[in-house]
Amino acid sequence: MLYALLGVVILLIQIMIWVIIIQAVLSWLVAFNVINTYNAGVRQFLYLLERVTDPLYRPIRAFMPDFGGIDFSPIVVILLLHLLTRFLVDLQPQLMTV
């Protein structure tokens, strides 16, 4: 039971990593006017991605210095989520013996 729950948590972390990557790429496309934000559907989708990812970025942005127009918080969050995933993957064999 705990092994399956751990697998679901790892899957959710991987989905969150992909959401962060998609949000970062879309923000670049918006910045270069490739995506039209006047479309209500696009604007709502971007707002949804911002609402999902902003709680993860906020603590990182609090202690990172300002680099001008470049936001490194998605990279830091992805690295932290990857480290958490590696820790949980290493924990899985120990749960098989319990």
Residue position matching structure tokens 């969050």: 77
**Under 8 Å between Cβ of 31 and 69:** no
pLDDT of residue 98: 64
Cα-based distances in Å from 9 to 27, 56, 60: 27, 16, 22
The predicted-structure confidence for 31-41, as pLDDT tens digits, reads as follows 999 998 999 99
The predicted-structure confidence for 42-72, as pLDDT tens digits, reads as follows 999 999 999 999 999 999 999 988 888 888 9
Quickly count: other Cβ atoms within 10 Å of residue 23's Cβ: 20
Q: 38 — phi, psi (to 5°)?
A: -75, -20
